[in-house]
Amino acid sequence: MIKLLRVDERLIHGQVAFAWTNSLKADCILIVNDAVAADKLRSTSLKMAAPAGVKFVVKTLKDAIPLLNGTKTDKYKLFLIVDNTSDALELVKNVKDVDHVNLGNMKLTSERTMITPSLAVSEKEKEQIHEMVAAGAEVECRAVPTDKKVMAESLI
């Protein structure tokens, strides 16, 4: 069962590893990221940040979609993490059970404007967020589970 899809450029770190995993009662963290899947050192480093007793898996986007649509992950309470809205949109469009997206951390760049203290989005990312909502996903903004849930569309 997919509990949540989070967009966080840092992928896994303290608040993801503990606050979100505990809040969701997740027993498996699945990082969906092509670059991390191709980099054994980075994958191993991220695995060390995962809480003890929680399964940790890294897949490419191409490999994650059929995996998540199959039955192999049914026994897990999955916490999916991507580092960009493009990958999040692909999962929303192509995985039947991805219907809740949390926008957690996206850094300010020259192309982005701040919408919360931890979220900055570009025009393209705003379009992708609108597409996720149009596809039926709830897209909300929160750094940690105890923050007030704010719907992304109200900010963009």
Please state, rounded to an integer, the average pLDDT across all residues of the chain. 95
pLDDT exceeds 90 at position 53:
yes
Count the neighbouring beta carbons within 10 Å of the beta carbon of residue 147.
14
CA angle 55–76–57, rounded 5-degree value: 35
The pLDDT of residue 122: 96
* pLDDT tier at 15, thresholds 50, 70, 90: confident
The predicted model gives 76-88 an average pLDDT of 97
CA distance 147 to 127: 25
What the chain holds in terms of domains, given with CATH numbers, is 2-154 (3.40.35.10)
CA distance 124 to 127: 5
The pLDDT of residue 17: 80
- Alpha-helical segments (H) within the chain: 14, 21-24, 34-37, 40-49, 61-69, 85-94, 123-134
The pLDDT of residue 18: 87
The predicted model gives 99-125 an average pLDDT of 95
